[in-house]
Structure 1
């Protein structure tokens, strides 16, 4: 049952959903143009606003493509950056210039994978293909609603704890479009699952998804594997099990759950909005919460923003660590997703 405030907002949500439905119909009917490309374009996105795990799933996909001999690039809008237009990540890039998630991708792959940002995805793809002629694939990060590009594989992510089939369109809920948008997905991945999610629970979730998706679309399930703390700056290792948690992500709950289960004691949680641009005052406030023997833990995406050049003096000397994460699929999910990739590299019709 929706929250009472959501009920009041439902008429606005219905109007918004209607506008989006007409827009999608125009693309589906061909009345609005949607471009295809000579190289495969893969889209990773969601229906719900907020964190569903796009960044680590894009990283997983890029790693698989590289292992199979392909030369992929990543194209993002660059949410939260202070620049506009097309930019290619390089050694001088910061979260302010290209956004935290693209910078994380650039660093994760050691600069060996082209990473670019552009609000206009068609311009971004055209520029990548012109400047990187060896590319064999482009992965679009957060482009499920970007209909001006026609992907050959449309991957829809959905958090287990926040399923789209229990949500409503903005502003009554958090959906960017109606639940029926799931019908465009070629594969649905249920993310941030409990590692021991039962087969029965997976079947029940799959059945709910298939009320909105196409009948035989694969529904896969993934979880996170958390790594050992990585120092941000000069710190060597956490001093103890007591920590101050610093996050600027949409859904810090899974990280809190992992840390608690791993035996860490969260003495204070400085929680900011997703993509928050940290300031020296924010860091000073966190430092003020630290007691002797405690460390600051954060996420890798937040660490990218904490290392902005202007913040490094404020960060110096603080024991700050990020917790790396990797995607792991349940059951045979990884093999099923990998099996969808080779057919993408057959000749594509270009429109």
Structure 2
């Protein structure tokens, strides 16, 4: 791995130069970054994938949608279409992407939009929403969000990472200064306070930034197309776990801790399952998957015994009220300023 990093280092230096110049031109106003008459909260990261943006977007939707007309804006990664599309419950993952479809199915009354050009989308939405949640738009500098939240996964913090292609960083670590909040995701349920302090030190927070730590919470039921089963149903069953996400390790560890009997078929993030793979899945007695993968697998498996285990964002040290207050404050302060 060290030799691999050394070989790719010159390309990382070039990539760093290009991204730094780009950010400099935006910061100095040579490139235009547009603000809008609606609060735009961006959830993004410095790393490529696997930080838990979808659960955080879902958390924010739950937090804000009862008192605001919330719109979720996503690029729609992995879709086979182009341009601006409003997601419907009846949409397919090929049309809109698995993550936007997941949000729409969970929150059918919330408008979800996909568009690769976020500026074009916000122009259409700016008078139709109280709040826009922009998914994975931290590097989309054409838009100037009201507030940036960046996520970094526990165990693979951006502070210890390297720029592409040597590492997984999309831009320099200094880019984190644009965020008002940093959330360390996928923490173990119990982390020593000294460890949290060390992480906060390593991330070198700015004066204006706050940090939060979250873990993955798992629901008590398995969800299928036609029925819901208690998680304990798996105690007496042998099943196959199918994952096509960036970092399935927390889910695998959770199921192992439950002492369930399963085999794991792991695929790359946003994997497009082939006909041959679908045929193999149909030979299994029971399949468990992630909610994101369920959006792609269920239409092709039909009435097959396929279930997913829902997840949710949980804050460590009971700090969710502080997080919630800060987000509501961002929205309310924007409205008062207008």
* TM beyond 0.5: yes
Contact 2:223 2:309 in 1 (8 A): no
1:229 Cα deviation (Å)?
4.1
1:263 Cα deviation (Å)?
2.1
1:233 Cα deviation (Å)?
3.0
CA displacement, residues 211-230 of structure 1 (integer Å, 9 cap, x when unaligned): xx423411100001101343
* Alpha-carbon spacing, 1:317–1:304, altered in 2? closer, same or farther (3 Å): closer
Distance 2:47 2:334 in 1: 33
Corresponding position of 1:58: 57
* Alpha-carbon spacing, 1:229–1:347, altered in 2? closer, same or farther (3 Å): closer
Distance 1:325 1:74 in 2: 19
Corresponding position of 2:76: 78
Q: 1:1-351 residue pairs with structure 2 within 5 A?
A: 3-67=2-66, 69-109=67-107, 111-130=108-127, 132=128, 135-210=129-204, 213-234=205-226, 237=229, 238=233, 240-266=236-262, 268-288=263-283, 290=284, 295-308=286-299, 311=300, 315-344=301-330, 345-347=332-334
Give 5+ residue unaligned stretches, structure 1. Answer: none
TM-score, normalised with respect to structure 1: 0.90
* Alpha-carbon spacing, 1:171–1:281, altered in 2? closer, same or farther (3 Å): same
1:235 Cα deviation (Å)?
5.9
Distance 2:112 2:317 in 1: 31
Distance 1:258 1:81 in 2: 30
Distance 2:62 2:280 in 1: 38
1:332 Cα deviation (Å)?
3.8
CA displacement, residues 12-57 of structure 1 (integer Å, 9 cap, x when unaligned): 0011011000100111111111111111000001111021000000
* Alpha-carbon spacing, 1:121–1:265, altered in 2? closer, same or farther (3 Å): same
Distance 2:264 2:19 in 1: 38
1:236 Cα deviation (Å)?
6.0
Distance 2:289 2:50 in 1: 16
Distance 1:215 1:343 in 2: 18
Contact 2:89 2:101 in 1 (8 A): no
Helix, strand or coil at the partner of 1:26: helix
TM-score, normalised with respect to structure 2: 0.93
Distance 1:252 1:40 in 2: 33
CA displacement, residues 87-139 of structure 1 (integer Å, 9 cap, x when unaligned): 00113311000000000000011x21100000110111111235x3xx11100
RMSD, aligned CA:
1.8
1:271 Cα deviation (Å)?
1.0
Contact 2:48 2:169 in 1 (8 A): yes
Aligned residues: 332
1:62 Cα deviation (Å)?
1.2
Contact 1:51 1:250 in 2 (8 A): yes
Distance 2:3 2:243 in 1: 29
Give 5+ residue unaligned stretches, structure 2. Answer: none
